[in-house]
Copies of this chain bind each other. A is one copy, B any other.
Amino acid sequence: MHTYLYTKQPLTYDGRQLSPHWLYRQFDLLGDAIAAFIGPCHVDLSEMVDLEDVKAEAPIYSPLMLHCIAEFFHPDLEMAVYRQRLLIVTAKELLEELSGRRVQQTGDDLYLTRVDGTPGKLSVSIATASPTSTLIHTGFNIETEGTPVPIIGLTELGIDVPAFATELLRRYAAEVQDIWLARCKVRAVRE
């Protein structure tokens, strides 16, 4: 994947950004791509795609987040979840480097324990499919007021958000490309 973009243009994430060709319509990014932007997050139940959250009636709210939207023109939703996990792991590594603190990963969530021992949820994430592509949203909390669960934000960690975003996108695009090339230079085996 060669196409990634961090934009300073603030945008609210309300779930409708997780749709096919949104990156093309919004930013003119064509083909597999990932973009990041900063803005509030509130996703109503009607827009939520994780049915476990829908069943739990747990809408998503955060006053300010760094949002990443990726689109892959590949139909396999299971592979999209692997690609989502790779984004989470890449973010975890970078956050540990930048903050000097240990970040926990559970499935597609990142957590961090404050000095007072209270845990904080750092991110939300989902991967889904459209009729022509697969899509990922990952949001990292920046500010933390008024959220339904205890969260922690990039500000509290002293992270420079634009620098983090730019490096995260760069690394992720390089990893995705590296995995593709690994697939292209291995001979098959047989019985």
Contact = CB atoms under 8 A, between A and B. Distances in A.
A25 interface: yes
Contacts of A105: 93
Contacts of A73: 183-184
Which residue, of A107, A129, A135, A188, has the highest number of chain B Cβ atoms within 10 A?
A188
A1 interface: no
A30 B183 CA distance: 10
Contact of A188 (B25, B52, B81, B131): B131
Interface of A is mostly: mixed
A190 interface: yes
B81 A78 contact: no
A75 B79 CA distance: 12
Nearest to A89: B89
B21 A187 contact: yes
Contacts of A19: 189-191
A57 to B, nearest CB: 13
A130 interface: yes
A132 interface: yes
Residue among A21, A179, A189 with max Cβ neighbours from chain B (10 Å) = A189
B186 A49 contact: yes
28 contacts: A18-B189, A19-B189, A19-B191, A20-B188, A25-B51, A30-B184, A32-B184, A49-B186, A49-B189, A50-B186, A51-B185, A73-B183, A77-B132, A78-B179, A78-B180, A79-B82, A81-B183, A82-B82, A82-B179, A85-B179, A89-B89, A93-B105, A127-B182, A129-B131, A130-B131, A131-B190, A132-B188, A135-B189
Given A19-B190, A127-B186, 5 more contacts: A18-B189, A51-B185, A52-B185, A78-B183, A128-B187
